Structure 1
Amino acid sequence: MLPGTKPGFELDPRLEAESIHVMWLGLCELRLRDDRRWPWLILIPQRSGMEEIHDLTPLDQAMVSFETNMVAQALKELTGCTKINSAALGNVVRQLHIHVVARSEGDAGWPGPVWGHGVREPYRREDLHRLAETIRGRL
């Protein structure tokens, strides 16, 4: 269990396998998806058994909204992207998590959605960790 993880909380192994820990926010763990096609962050509220945002308490809903907006603004400023895509799909991984993806005209899937587009292209390890450190510094 990582420092900061809430007792009884388990991260879905698929989220863990395709992303790295960036930092702890107030409610969420922030992770960076290992896909160099798009700067892609994932917020995971540290609440067991949650699948939908409306499953959270009203206070947690407000907190996840605040943290998502804070991360989205930082990612947009950091990347200079055209658009931020934010979503909580959960069709494949049911555990509640929120995607925040920087999109730019001409990127690998523009203007379509990133989900299900092509094959994930992992970063070089040092590039992945450098980007995570840059995001930490920005937040």
Structure 2
Amino acid sequence: MGRMSESPRQSSAFTLHPRLAAGAHWLGRRQDCQLLLKDNALFPWILIVPEVPQGVEDLHQLDPERYRRVMDLVRRVSQFVSTQFRPDKLNVACIGNQVRQMHIHIVGRREGDPAWPGTVWASGAKSPWPPEEAERIRGAAREELELKLDPNPESMMH
């Protein structure tokens, strides 16, 4: 499946931030959002990146219909992480202090994981997904979340 180390394609409307793409596996698209699996098997962690224009950084800036679609996807991805990984707790956050491009973290947490009970952002613990496991997660996500297999040609990469 390969990690996303290439530069994203440029578009006047949307370009995936390189820091979001780095160290992640691209899962697919749904409802004008990119879905990425962070390449850290210690924390089942999916990013939802809405394809919104630069400057739209926070959820309240979305129009009501777009907000509803994004929140529906957050709910669906949260359910997927719960079903696939059986975490003790889900952390869902739209922070954006280091990367301002709107993105939502959905992280499965287990009591006793390397960052517990702190945040995953403060933890330096990393362990890449084995390629076959990352591919299994990608396949399950594409099936359960009905993801499109090809990225928006206007927005991203391979």
TM over 0.5, shorter chain:
yes
SS of residue paired to 1:22: strand
CA shift, 1:137, in A, is 2.6
Residues in 1 aligned to 2:11 and 2:30: alpha-carbon distance in whole angstroms: 12
CA shift, 1:99, in A, is 0.3
Residue 90 (structure 1) aligned with residue 102 (structure 2): no
Q: Which 4+ stretches in 1 moved above 3 angstroms? A: none
Residue 29 (structure 1) aligned with residue 44 (structure 2): no
Over the residues paired in the alignment, what is the CA RMSD in angstroms? 1.9
Partner of residue 118, structure 1: 124
Residues in 1 aligned to 2:131 and 2:99: alpha-carbon distance in whole angstroms: 24
Residue 134 (structure 1) aligned with residue 154 (structure 2): no
Residues in 1 aligned to 2:111 and 2:48: alpha-carbon distance in whole angstroms: 24
Q: Is the 2:89–2:110 contact (alpha carbons within 8 Å) kept by the matching residues of 1?
A: yes
Identity %: 34
With normalisation by structure 1, the TM-score equals: 0.89
Partner of residue 15, structure 1: 20
Partner amino acid, structure 1, of 2:14: F
Partner of residue 61, structure 2: 55
Q: Deviations over 1:18-68 (max 9, x none)?
A: 212112111311111111111100000011112111111111111111100
Name structure 2 gaps, 5 residues minimum.
1-7, 146-158
Bigger relative contact order (CA 8 A; separation at least 6) = 2
With normalisation by structure 2, the TM-score equals: 0.79
Structure number with higher helix proportion:
1
